[in-house]
Amino acid sequence: MDHIAVGRRLQNEIDDLVTKNRDVFGAVLGVATRNGDYWSAAAGFAHAGEGDEMKVDTPIFVASITKMYTAAVTMMLKERKLLSLDDPISEYLPAALLAGLHRHKGHDYSDQLRVYHLVSQTSGLPDYFEAAPKGGKSLFDLIVSEGDTAWDLEYVVDMAKNRLSPQFAPEPMGQARSGKRAHYADTNYQLLGAIIESVMERSLQEAFEELIIGPLALSATYLHGYGQPLSASQGAPATIYYGEKALYLDKAMKSFGPDGGMVSNVGDSLRFLRAVMEGDLFKDPSTLERMKNWKKIFFPMQYGLGLMRFKLPWFFSPFSPAPELVGHSGVSSAFLFYCDDAQLYLAGTLNQLENQGRPIRLMLKIINLVNADRS
């Protein structure tokens, strides 16, 4: 493999994304092979109005990739027998908070909610972030139209109880492999973050530091507003855009916390993903397999336990099937996936809330590019 040539082609791809798309102002990409080869590329500007170049180590908001970290901590606590996925969430959260949380078709399922339902997105709870209450706007729409705002767990629970409706009853015990679809809801991970804090008796940032950030020596990874990078040279995370509009989301990114508030860079992200996929983070190999219990969520994605799976049906491309990707994406066009077929890890972001299919197309193109050089 011509390492220099591959790196040049990756840089050209990122340059083209920025120069040919009016809504991509800064982009970064990191690619690693299973056997240790590594490339990175960046283009554009990191911060709106400042003219500073996007670099390969620029901090980025990884958005919902945060859920991988939250799920990983949950599974580590399970391995240590500090919680069970079958535990009712009422064992860890206040009764007043949970009362009436899940009412569906005249029945109250609140006391049936388990830790498993949260981490697997099978609770049926509504999504406090993207679901719109009757006659109103979603929190997502309010942020992009009116600007930065803050919220807390009590706000999330109030939305779920009083302004939004569950999608379905929680998945019954013993039906974890039934194939029933999941419903992606940030609400689940807000609750899961509170459970982690209850179990560990410390903040979520401290839990991440103890179980992931410290052991993996992640120098640029922290929850926005709660931690700081280990490297003093790290600056502010790159700007996120909605179309051509720069968004300044200090309050919102702090409020996301366990469902979307993580800051990292592509180097740290790839190290974390490798630790998950190669078994370095978990004591039991069956833990990762449990996380790959896939359910339909939204085409072409499936959801496991804090992991997403991209796999197109064969008939979409019968002569050149698209490879399977396992990892997680974020609303800011952040991506962190492993392709077992190509033995490649991919991380990056386009810092753009629109055109959510673009990161998948980029990853598929990168995989083909690296594979072509191997042949």
Contact between residue 184 and residue 111 where contact means Cβ atoms under 8 Å apart: no
Q: Kindly give, in sequence order, each residue whose CB lies less than 8 Å from that of residue 241, ignoring residues fewer than 6 positions away.
A: 23, 25, 48, 247, 351, 352, 353
Give alpha helix (H) positions in the chain: 3-20, 66-79, 95-98, 115-119, 139-146, 153-158, 186-200, 204-208, 250-256, 266-277, 285-291, 358-374
Q: What is the pLDDT of residue 178?
A: 52
Count CB-CB contacts under 10 A for residue 137.
Answer: 13
In angstroms, rounded to a whole number, what is the distance separating the alpha carbons of residues 73 and 119?
11
In angstroms, rounded to a whole number, what is the distance separating the alpha carbons of residues 351 and 147?
17
Residue 85 in tokens: 């996925």
Q: What is the pLDDT of residue 72?
A: 98
The verdict on pTM exceeding 0.85 is yes
Q: What is the pLDDT of residue 1?
A: 65
Which letter, b or e, does each residue of 138-176 get, where b requires 16 or more Cβ atoms within 10 Å of its Cβ? bbbeebbeeeeeebebeebbebbbeebebbbebbeeeeb
Residue 358 in tokens: 């673009």
- DSSP-derived letter for residue 306 is S
CATH of domain 3-374: 3.40.710.10
Which residues pair with residue 347 across a beta bridge?
A: 30, 336
Count CB-CB contacts under 10 A for residue 36.
Answer: 7
* Burial of residue 77, with CB atoms counted within 10 A of its CB: 0-12 exposed, 13-18 middle, 19 or more buried: buried
DSSP helix/strand/coil, 100 = coil
- pLDDT-flagged residues of the chain (< 70): 1, 174-179, 230-234, 313-320, 374-375
Closest CA to 70 of 192, 248, 215: 192
Residue type, 336: L
Which residues pair with residue 44 across a beta bridge?
A: 26
**Would you tell me the crossing angle of helices 358-374 and 3-20 to the nearest 10 degrees?**
160
Q: What is the pLDDT of residue 115?
A: 98
- DSSP-derived letter for residue 186 is H
Domain ranges of the chain: 3-374
Rounded to whole angstroms, what are the CA distances from 267 to 41, 57, 59, 131, 190?
11, 7, 10, 33, 26
Which letter, b or e, does each residue of 338-375 get, where b requires 16 or more Cβ atoms within 10 Å of its Cβ? bbeebebbbbbbbbbbeeeebbbebbbebbeebeeeee
In angstroms, rounded to a whole number, what is the distance separating the alpha carbons of residues 268 and 372?
27
Which letter, b or e, does each residue of 297-317 get, where b requires 16 or more Cβ atoms within 10 Å of its Cβ? beebbbbbbbbbbbeeeeeee
DSSP helix/strand/coil, 368 = helix
Condensed to tens digits (0 to 9), the pLDDT of residues 8-59 reads: 999 999 999 999 999 999 999 999 999 989 999 999 999 999 989 999 999 9
Q: What is the pLDDT of residue 315?
A: 54
